Structure 1
C-alpha cells in the first residue's frame, strides 16, 4: 500500500521535471525508501530536495513511519540506461563487453549503440617500430556488461 503510494508520488514528481529520470527505487521492509536519480543535465541538491518534498509532504507520518533518502547517481556509478550516455559525450568511458574491455572517449550515442574513440600504439605496417593510430568502435547497448565514466584529475 505505502510502496504504491510512494511510487505514484515519485512518478508524478518526475513527470513535472522531464530532465530528471529514475535510476533506482527500493523500499525496505522497515519502510526505508531509497530513490536514486539522474538527469540529462545532472542532478543537484535542489532536485533531490524537490523530489523528496513531493513524496514526504504527501505522506502522513501518523499513518506510516518511514525514512526517505533521495540521492543522485554517483560519478563512479555504472551507467545503466541509454539516456545516461548522452550527457557523458566527450568524457572517457571504460566499457566492458563479454569479449573485451575498452577505454575511450564517448563521441556519440544512437538509439542502439555508442561510439568510442581512442589512440593506440601499433606495429608499423612495414619496418620496425610503432605508430600511433586513431581507433573507433561502435558498441551495441545490448553488448555492454558495464560502463563507467573515468574521472581524470
Structure 2
C-alpha cells in the first residue's frame, strides 16, 4: 500500500520555494491516492500535472500499482490548514462550530490558535422595543470549529 507520508514528503520537496503548498493526502486500501494542493495566488492544471508526474517518477509501478490524483482544494471546500485561513482574511466565510451553530461572517484575523470573525446579529438593546442589528466580533479556537469554508454570495 502506498504511504501518504512519502507522497507528502515528495510533494513538499517539489513545492518548496513556490507559493504552492499541500493541504491533504488521502490513500485508500485500493491504492487510490488523492493529493490536494493550494496556493497563495492560484493553482493551474499545469501545476497539478507537473507535480503528479514528479511524484509518479518516484514510484515503481511494476512493484505497486496505484492511482494518483493531484487537485486544487476548490472553492467551497473545507479549510484544513492555517495557511488557507490566512489567504481568506478579509473574505466572507461559513463557520460551523462543534456546538452546531453555523455563522456567516467576515474573517478578520488568524493566528496559530484560532480565528477572529465579525458579523451582524440581532440583539435586544435596553430602551428599544425591537431587536437591533449589532456588529459582533468573536474569536474561536480551531478546536471549537467543525469546519470553515469560503462563502460565495451570488446576490
> TM-score interval w.r.t. the shorter chain?
0.7 to 0.9
Summarize deviations over 1:17-45 as a string: whole Å, max 9, x none: 3x222222233344322211122224222
Alpha-carbon separation, structure 2, partners of 1:151 and 1:104:
11
TM-score by length of 2: 0.81
- Does structure 1 conserve the Cα–Cα contact (< 8 Å) formed by 2:11 and 2:22? no
Segments of 5+ residues of structure 1 without an aligned counterpart are none
Aligned: 1:145 with 2:153: no
Q: Which residue of 1 aligns with 2:65?
A: 65
1:49-88 equivalences under 5 Å are 49-88=49-88
Q: Which residue of 2 aligns with 1:122?
A: 123
TM-score by length of 1: 0.82
Partner secondary structure for residue 47 of structure 1: helix
Alpha-carbon separation, structure 2, partners of 1:95 and 1:81:
14
- Does structure 2 conserve the Cα–Cα contact (< 8 Å) formed by 1:10 and 1:55? yes
Alpha-carbon separation, structure 1, partners of 2:95 and 2:2:
38
Segments of 5+ residues of structure 2 without an aligned counterpart are none
1:7-26 equivalences under 5 Å are 7-17=8-18, 19-26=19-26
Alpha-carbon separation, structure 1, partners of 2:148 and 2:6:
33
